Amino acid sequence: MTSADPMPRRRLFRTGLALSAAAVAPAAAAAPAAADEPAGLSEEFRALEQSYGARLGVYARNVRTGRTVAH
């Protein structure tokens, strides 16, 4: 191994990260709406926000089924 070896690996790593991000971004944009969240979950989130005096942000996706929860 020479000192020239690490640079191509770093470049390859950065390229891989960029390609991964490009592949994931369309899937995230095409995520189903929060309409498939379980009934009553939004009300529970609102109750938590009121009881703690805070703003709650939630996004969860089951990768197997594609179901999402967003608030």
Per-residue pLDDT of the chain (71 residues; tens, 9 = 90+): 555 556 576 776 666 666 666 666 565 555 555 456 677 888 888 898 899 999 988 888 899 998 888 88
55/39 Cα distance (integer angstroms):
20
CA distances from 34 to 5, 48, 51, 58 (A): 47, 18, 23, 11
pTM for the model stands at 0.43
38/62 Cα distance (integer angstroms):
13
Question: What pLDDT, on a 0 to 100 scale, did the predictor assign at position 6?
Answer: 60
Question: What pLDDT, on a 0 to 100 scale, did the predictor assign at position 71?
Answer: 86
Q: How many residues does the chain have?
A: 71
Question: What pLDDT, on a 0 to 100 scale, did the predictor assign at position 51?
Answer: 92
Question: What pLDDT, on a 0 to 100 scale, did the predictor assign at position 34?
Answer: 47
